[in-house]
Structure 1
C-alpha cells in the first residue's frame, strides 16, 4: 500500500501503547474478555484513508477491511468476483462489468457503477495528486488526465451504462487486467466523499466487511476501531465482532503485549525474538513465504550515481553485500536472499535470470567494479542508507553498511529518520539526499505489480525516478501478450534490465512470521503476508 504496499514500518512509544491498553481495558473490560473484538498490530497510517492515496501497508490493511472491490483474493492468491457479478470481454481490451444488485455503503447509499467510475477518475486526475494514480495507466484516456489538461477531466475509457453496468476500454488488450481489480486503488467511493475528501479520509465510508466503530474510531497513534458490517454481502464475512488495530511504534512492545495476551494478532516478530518466538508461542505461530521483497533504493539523482558511473557503483555495492550471512545471523530463517525484483510466492518467479550474478556476494568483483567507476570520477564522501528508526531496521542496515565498508573500503553508514512518515514523505517527494530503505508487498498476485509501480517511468512508487524506455516497452508488451509463455519471457527480459541497472538493490524476500494470543483461533496469513482478519475467531 514505499512499500501495499510498500513495506510496513513497525510502529509509537511505550507510553502510547500503555495508553492504548488502558483505553481498551476501560472500554471493554480488558483484552481477551470474550467481547468478540480482535486486537491486531498495526502502525499509524502515513496518509488519510483514501484508497487512491494510500501506498503503504498499515493504511492498506485498514482499507481492505473497510472496502470491497469488483474482485477479491483468496488466502492463496486466487481471484473471486466480489462486488462484480461478471467481468466480460471478447478481446481483452474492451470489458463490460456488471455489479451485483443490493450492495450499499455504510452510510446507506447504493454502490453503483458510478461509484467505481467516479472514484477511478478522481484517482487518475493529476490535480488530485494521488499516490496510486498510475494504477489507472492501462485505461484509455489516462495519459490525458495524468497531466495538467483542463479539457480532460475524466478517462475516455470509462463509461457508465446504467446503475449496474460500466465499460472499461484499455489502451491495449490485457487479459490479466481483471485480476488487479481487488487492489485498494480500484475501490469504489460514495458520493459523500467528494464533498470534503480530506475529511472523508479521516472517517472513511466503505462497503466492506467492517465499518468504523464511531466518529472517534481513528485515535491517531493509538488505535483504529472497526466493527463488523451487518450489511456486507461479499466473500469475506467477519467471524468476529470487530477488529481494533493497535498502533505501535515499537515491535518489541507489541511482542510483549502478545506474550501477555494483551494483543491478539501480530504479523511481525522483532529481531530480539526471532530465535525464540516459536517456543514462546507453542502452536500459535506462523512462518511462511509471502509476496514481499525488501530493498534499498539508490536514486540516480544522487552525486556519483548517474550514468555508467552510477551503474558500476550500484553493481559494486550490491556485490559487496553478504546477504546469506546477514539473513542467517539476523533473521533466523525468516528471510531468503533475493534473486530478482519480485518474490518466489508469485507465479513466474525464477532464480536464474541473466544478470542475477549482480546479487551474489563477490568481493573481488565488487572492488573491480568500484575501481572502474573511480576511473570515470573518483569517489569521495559517505554512502548512507536512510531508514526509519521506529521500524526495527537498524540491525540490518548496520550489517549491510558494514559489509559494504569492509569490501569496498569506503565510509558506509545508516541514516536514521525518527519516524516512518518522515522517511516516506521525503522519499515520495523525491527530496531525500541518500539511498533509502524500500520494498514491496504485492497488491495483486502478479509479477507485473512489483515492476510497474516501482520501476516504470512515472510509476506510483517509483521513488528513485528510474526511467528506461526499453524496460517500459517490455513491461507494456508483457501486459498485452495473449500467450502466457510469451508474457513471461517479456517480464523476464524486463527484469534482466533491472538486474543490470539496479535502480534498487534487492536484499531479501520476507516470510510472513508472527503469532497470536490464547484468546483467538483460525488465524491465517494471506498470500501477501497480511492476516485475514475476517476469519479470526475470538474465544
Structure 2
C-alpha cells in the first residue's frame, strides 16, 4: 500500500473543503422542504408521508362539513369549486368521475353529479364515516385529461391538482421539484423547493439553518430531536398498522389460546426500535384512536405465551409469511416467536393459495371501519354477532357514539383475535425557527399549504 507524505496528505485533505461552498440559507420567499423520494404522486396511490406532503400543497381537500346526510345512506356533497392547474374547471363531475374510479372504499352503489356543485352518494349500507373518508388523498379530484388517458405514470411525474401550489416543472426522481403559488397571499411562500435526500442529512441541514423543514426523522435522531427542536418538532399517527393474521381455517390455530400465545410472544417495543427504525409504535389496540382499556394480547409476556401454546396443544414447526415491504419486521418477529415459544418459526415470502401459518400484513386505514374491513377481508373472520356490532358502529348518528360502538367491535376482535395487532405507524418532522403555522394532522402530517414564513 502506498503511503502519501504527511505534508502532501494534509494539503489534499484541505482542498475539498476549500473548494466546496457552504450551503446558502433559504431565500426569504421560498420554503425549502426535505423529504424522501415519494412512491407515487397519484392521490389514489399515496402510501408514504413524502407523497402526502407533496399532495397537501398541490390539492385542496374536501372539508368534512361538505358532506351531509339525513339517514347516513344517501349523502349530499358540495365540494369546493375552483380550477385545476391546467385551467379546466373543478366541478362536481370532476369529483364524481374520480370517486367512481378510485373510491371503492366508500361502499357506494351510486355516485352521481347532480349539478355543477353537488354530488350524490348512495351507499350500500348506512355509514357515518363518509365525511372522514372523503378527506383522504384517494378522494382528491383528478382532471379530465388523466381520467380519459389513464396515464398514471405520466401523471405521477407531472400531477395536476386544484390547490394553492402547482408544479413549475415535472418531478425529477432523486432531486425533487419546485412548486409555485397560484395566487399570492401575505405571509405564504411564493415558492416551495422540494428536495429529495437522506433524512439524516436533511435533519442536520434544518439544524444548521440550511433547510426549513424535514418531513422525516430517522430513528437515530429521535432522542436528539427533543433537545435540538424543543418546540419545533411534531409527531402524528399515520394511517398504517402492522398485524399478524392467523389462518382460521387451520386446525392448529382454532384454539384462541394458540393465537394469544403468538400475540403475547411478540416484543413489539423491540420491533419498533429495531427493524421498524423508530418509525412506528408498539400497538395498544386493534383500531385507530386511543383505547382506554387494556389490550391483553398486545402485552409481551413470553412465559404466559409458552404456557398458552402448550395449553392449546401447539407444537412443531410453523411458517410465518410476509409480503412486499414486510420482510424486515416479519423475520425479526419470527425470531422472537421462536425464542419465546420454543419451536421453529420460519419466515417465508407469501405465495398464492392457502397458507399454513400466520401472515404479516400492513393495513392502510385512517378510520375504524376501514381497518375492520381490511382485517375481515384478510382473515375471513365472522364471529357471532360481529356483523351486527360493525353495522351498529358504522351507522351511529354522531361521532362520539360511533367511537363508543367501535370500541365494542374492537373488544370482540381482541377477544377472538383473528389478527394480532403488532405496530402502528407514526410520522415526525422538524423545522427552522423562521416558519410559522406548522401544523400536523393525524393521518395526514404537515400541510405545506398552511405554512407561513
Q: TM class by shorter-chain length?
A: 0.7 to 0.9
The counterpart of 2:88, out of the listed 109, 115, 118, is: 109
Deviation at 1:325, TM superposition (A): 6.9
> Over aligned residues, Cα RMSD in angstroms?
4.2
Residue of 428, 432, 440 corresponding to 1:517? 432
Task: Find the aligned partners of 2:255 and 2:131 in 1 and give their Cα distance.
Answer: 38
Distance 2:118 2:25 in 1: 45
Q: Aligned to 1:119, which of 94, 98, 103?
A: 98
Q: Which residue of 1 aligns with 2:6?
A: none
The equivalent of 2:114 in structure 1 is 161
Q: 1:273 to 1:136 in 2, by over 3 A?
A: same
1:438 to 326, 351, 362: 362
1:359 Cα deviation from its structure 2 partner: 1.2
Match of 1:41 in 2: 34
The structure that has the greater radius of gyration is 2
Shift of the 331–523 alpha-carbon distance from structure 1 to 2, 3 Å rule, reads farther
Decide whether aligned partners of structure 1 residues 331 and 63 sit closer, same or farther in structure 2, where only a CA change above 3 A counts. Answer: closer
Once the two structures are superposed, the pairs formed by residues 163-312 of structure 1 within 5 Å of their partners are 163-198=116-151, 199-214=154-169, 216=170, 218-230=171-183, 239-248=188-197, 250-286=198-234, 288=235, 290=237, 294-298=241-245, 300=247, 308-309=253-254, 312=257
After the TM superposition, which residues 315-464 of structure 1 pair with which residues of structure 2 at under 5 Å, given as runs?
A: 315-323=260-268, 337-343=282-288, 346=289, 349-352=290-293, 356-372=295-311, 375=313, 378-380=315-317, 383=320, 403-411=336-344, 435-436=359-360, 438=362, 440=364, 442=366, 446-452=367-373, 454-457=374-377
TM-score (norm 2): 0.77
Structure 1 residue 30: Cα displacement: 5.3
For 1:21, the equivalent position in structure 2 comes to: none
Between the aligned partners of 2:262 and 2:305, the Cα distance in structure 1 is: 7
Give the 3-state SS of the residue equivalent to 2:89 in structure 1.
coil
Which runs of no fewer than 5 residues in structure 1 stay unpaired?
A: 1-24, 72-78, 82-86, 124-132, 142-156, 416-422, 458-464
Question: Cα distance, 1:408 vs. partner?
Answer: 1.7
- Structure 1 pair 310/241, CA: closer, same or farther in 2 (3 Å)? farther
**Mapped partners of 1:430, 1:258: distance in 2:** 49
Residues 366/238 of structure 1: CA separation in 2 closer, same or farther (3 Å cut): farther
Q: 1:238 to 1:289 in 2, by over 3 A?
A: same
Residue 450 of structure 1 deviates from its aligned partner by 3.7
Query: How big is the shift at 1:530?
Result: 1.0
Q: 1:358 to 1:105 in 2, by over 3 A?
A: same
Contact 1:339–1:351, Cα closer than 8 Å, also in 2: no
Asked whether the 8 Å contact 2:175–2:196 carries over to 1, the reply is: yes
Alpha-carbon contact 2:237-2:425 (below 8 Å) kept: yes
- Match in the other structure for 1:11: none
The structure-2 alpha-carbon separation of the partners of 1:280 and 1:60, relative to structure 1 and needing over 3 Å to count, comes to: closer
Please state how far the C-alpha of 1:183 moved relative to its aligned partner: 1.5
Secondary structure, aligned partner of 1:121: helix
- TM-score between the two structures when normalised by the length of structure 1: 0.66
Query: Which of residues 135, 143, 146 in structure 1 aligns to 2:105?
Result: 135
List alignment gaps of at least 5 residues for structure 2: 1-19
Verify the 8 A CA contact 1:66 1:208 in the aligned structure 2.
yes
SS of structure 2 residue aligned to 1:469: coil
Alpha-carbon contact 1:297-1:438 (below 8 Å) kept: no
CA distance in 1, matches of 2:396, 2:331: 43
Matched residue, 2:406: 491
Provide the residue aligned with 2:25 in structure 1: 32
Give distance in 1, aligned partners of 2:219 and 2:299: 24
User: What is the aligned residue count?
Assistant: 429
Provide closer, same or farther for how the CA distance between residues 530 and 321 of structure 1 changes in structure 2, counting only shifts above 3 A: same
TM-superposition CA deviations, 1:518-539 (whole Å, max 9, x none): 553432222336112223234x
Residue number in structure 1 paired with 2:8? none
SS in 2 for 1:226: strand
Task: State the Cα deviation string for residues 491-518 of structure 1 (Å, max 9, x = none).
Answer: 2232234324545532345555432135
Structure 2: how far apart are the matches of 1:333 and 1:196? Answer: 40
Give the 3 Å change call, closer, same or farther, for CA 112–429 of structure 1 in structure 2: farther
Output the CA distance in 2 between the equivalents of 1:310 and 1:59: 42
Partner of 2:61: 69
The 3 A distance-change label for structure 1 pair 305 and 311 is farther
